[in-house]
Structure 1
Amino acid sequence: MKRWLRKRVDAAYERLLSREISGAPTHVAVIQDGNRRYARNRGGDAHEGHRAGAETTERVLEWCQDIGVEELTLYAFSTENFERPPDEREALFDLLEEKLREFADADRVHDNGVHIRALGDVDRLPKRVREAVAYAEGRTSDYDEFVLNIALAYGGRAQLLEAVRGVADAVDAGDLEPDDIDVEDIEQRLYDQPVRDVDLIIRTGGDERTSNFLPWHANGNEAAVFFCTPYWPEFSKTDFLRGIRTYEHRQESWRRTRARRALALLGAVSEPELADARAIVDRFRDSLPSSERPDAGEFESSDSSSQIAD
């Protein structure tokens, strides 16, 4: 009876969250934590937990496509994972190979135009996994409706370090002037293909840290972060929608902050900057509480005052 009631409550909450969500982040990144603890709690081994987690991964891909997410990055195997016991590591490699090939051949991947690609130091992986990566990337290379990034042998700081070394080599070779270095010079050396800025990071398993995951694209974009306690195999659609709602609340807060700052600047900036401030206020006016919203007359008054002063 209690289980039946719980399912009814969860279903009702899921419907409520679905109605509350009005938009979706473009790029969601997920740290899939808790597979081993999930298995341990059930008396199983780590491999059973990883396999249960792979089923959750398939569901999350569908949920992302349902609400309009355009890019999903999964932290599947970090550089630290190489330190795990050999038998666990080999079983995980077997599962990665199996799932990469399975995804590459799945009808839903081809029907939805999913482009699969790997991020990280793939050359460190066993040959069978590298071949599976090449197979998945090759089978889906012509698609562009949805991007699925699989972070393998991945470490965020290591990626940044390699990009910086690439920039330094270009400077030494005389191909790049130090004063001309910009964001694009770093980004084009991070990955073979562009990766969108991360809008939302989700981490399961209870830990509240982002573990060196996509630092350039997440921290640089001030991504929203949603930490939750379920282990990855237990992660539900309700949990997913709560994460999306966290992103929306962050966006609303950001808009209000931008609008308030622009309002404060209207009376304190020079005339060339005034137009930019007015444009920001006009764009984000609806994000402010009604008591704080300026009307068009206030802008006109500012213009008139400025002209009289001139």
Structure 2
Amino acid sequence: MSDWLRKQANILYERLLSEEVSGTPNHVAVIQDGNRRYARQQGDDTHQGHRAGAKTTEQILEWCQEIGVEELTLYAFSTENFNRPAEENEPLFDLLSEKLREFADADRVHDNEVQIRAIGAVDRLPKRVQEAITYATRQTQEYDRFILNIALAYGGRSQLLEAARSVAKDVESGNLDPEEIDIGTVEKQLYTTPLRDVDLIIRTGGGERTSNFLPWHANGNEAAVFFCKPYWPEFSKADFLRGIRTYEHRQQSWQRTRARRALALLGSMSDQDLPEARSTVARFRDSLPASEQPNEETIELPDSNEPVADR
């Protein structure tokens, strides 16, 4: 197939996928894997792979805004990446500094009111990267239409550990009653500004693991996960839409499961529980697609005048 035909086929496929998308996740998180392997495949230096990946980063921001995603988190640099050679990391730090400042000044960022935030142990990063983070944060801190989180010097388990230590110190000092510890208590220790629960994780580069990424917000929310083979610089809009479709299928399956569980419990309901049960069934029925609506007899509740023992 010629390059022209391949391009036209991809455009047609993207259009088809766009028409199929009917539900949008609020928060998408992306593990941008494969920059270095892409560079080796092209015969380039590693930093050229990261620079090629930066172009995809700009594109996915636009794709998210097109379909109504409200928050995007990008896994840009993990705590494990500090173990890589300095000659590999230093050009990456230069690129991060450059792109953070470029994003902070971009018209499309301000026109779409994008707030840029960094999450992770940013104090471990070189000063030039920290200064770029501060600049991007200040330039966009008043916006809230779209949130762009960039995970830098990030490690999910280490963050959970630090949050647990902070909570323990508050209890030990008497500033916190153990009985008052809840989800909100932990989340306040994790980040200075709240993150939405993650609805979809996308990982490029062929790996099938989530690599310690946002364990509190993703695993706790049972996020859908989409693994794909293209390296991050090769990741296309069609790949992105396939990920969104995976999220939709996950949501539909989850809704069906909840509906079936609710229906299975109805037989044991007492008379005083029936009005609430009817309301619950109605809500679950409304949540299902038209093609999956159950027949009326399937969700028929027992008459409240019928003895419980005979139901």
SS, match of residue 302 in structure 1: coil
Task: Give distance in 2, aligned partners of 1:233 and 1:297.
Answer: 49
1:217-296 alignment runs, 5 A limit: 217-271=217-271, 273-286=273-286, 287=288, 290=292, 292-294=294-296
Give 1:279 deviation, angstroms: 3.0
TM-score of the pair, normalised by structure 2:
0.94
Give 1:308 deviation, angstroms: 11
**What residue identity is the alignment partner of 2:226?**
F
**What residue identity is the alignment partner of 1:303?**
S
Aligned length: 308
**What residue identity is the alignment partner of 1:197?**
D
**What residue identity is the alignment partner of 1:220?**
G
**What residue identity is the alignment partner of 2:86?**
P
Work out whether residues 263 and 299 of structure 2, in 8 Å CA contact, stay in contact via their aligned partners in 1: no
Task: Give distance in 1, aligned partners of 2:134 and 2:293.
Answer: 57
**What residue identity is the alignment partner of 1:156?**
G
**Residue 67 to residue 295, structure 1, CA distance change in 2 (3 Å):** farther
Deviations 1:203-230 (A, max 9, x none): 0000000000000000000000000000
Work out whether residues 224 and 246 of structure 1, in 8 Å CA contact, stay in contact via their aligned partners in 2: yes
Task: Give distance in 2, aligned partners of 1:278 and 1:53.
Answer: 52
SS, match of residue 72 in structure 2: strand
Give 1:294 deviation, angstroms: 3.2
Task: Give distance in 1, aligned partners of 2:256 and 2:48.
Answer: 46
Work out whether residues 205 and 231 of structure 2, in 8 Å CA contact, stay in contact via their aligned partners in 1: yes
1:105 aligns with 2:111: no
1:303 aligns with 2:271: no
1:151 aligns with 2:133: no
Deviations 1:72-91 (A, max 9, x none): 00000000010111011000
Task: Give distance in 2, aligned partners of 1:207 and 1:273.
Answer: 48
SS, match of residue 205 in structure 2: coil
**What residue identity is the alignment partner of 2:170?**
A
Deviations 1:134-159 (A, max 9, x none): 00000000000000000000000011
Work out whether residues 259 and 280 of structure 1, in 8 Å CA contact, stay in contact via their aligned partners in 2: no
Work out whether residues 265 and 277 of structure 1, in 8 Å CA contact, stay in contact via their aligned partners in 2: no
Give 1:292 deviation, angstroms: 3.5
Task: Give distance in 2, aligned partners of 1:91 and 1:111.
Answer: 30
**Residue 74 to residue 291, structure 1, CA distance change in 2 (3 Å):** closer
Q: RMSD of the TM alignment (CA)?
A: 1.9
Work out whether residues 263 and 281 of structure 2, in 8 Å CA contact, stay in contact via their aligned partners in 1: yes
Task: Give distance in 1, aligned partners of 2:35 and 2:250.
Answer: 29
SS, match of residue 25 in structure 2: coil
TM-score of the pair, normalised by structure 1:
0.95
